Amino acid sequence: GAGVSQSPSNKVTEKGKDVELRCDPISGHTALYWYRQRLGQGLEFLIYFQGNSAPDKSGLPSDRFSAERTGESVSTLTIQRTQQEDSAVYLCASSLGADHYNEQFFGPGTRLTVL
């Protein structure tokens, strides 16, 4: 079956612009995660959805970052007034719910470059 897909694969934007990143999880996966991976660094947790609600938003770096999920499916991560430090690869992952202990399936990522 299809894996996790993300779009766009690459995004170049100017400082101050807003960007929207999309994640399509594996069908039937109730949990969805967003991570940020800066160049040469590890994964930084941003936000987690269980269904359409986000029990843990603790990783969002600032109020410029927001995310939503609809229909227990697609999720969008929005970054407003982008800054150069937002440049990174944004990874999305999904997992089944109970009894699957959060084994995550990752998408290919969106590489964001803020000029």
Which residues of the shown chain bind other proteins in the complex (CB under 8 A)?
31, 33, 35, 41-43, 45, 48, 50, 55-56, 58, 91, 93, 97-109
**Listed residue (39, 50, 96) closest to 75, CA to CA:** 50
Q: Which is nearer to other proteins, 80 or 87 (CB)?
A: 87
**Listed residue (92, 90, 89) closest to 69, CA to CA:** 92
Q: Which is nearer to other proteins, 14 or 99 (CB)?
A: 99
| Identity of residue 23 | C
Q: How far is the CB of 56 from other proteins (least distance, A)?
A: 5
Contact 102, 3 (CB under 8 A): no
| Identity of residue 108 | P
Q: Which is nearer to other proteins, 16 or 97 (CB)?
A: 97
Q: Which is nearer to other proteins, 19 or 36 (CB)?
A: 36
Q: How far is the CB of 115 from other proteins (least distance, A)?
A: 22
> CA 51, CA 1: separation in Å to the nearest integer?
21
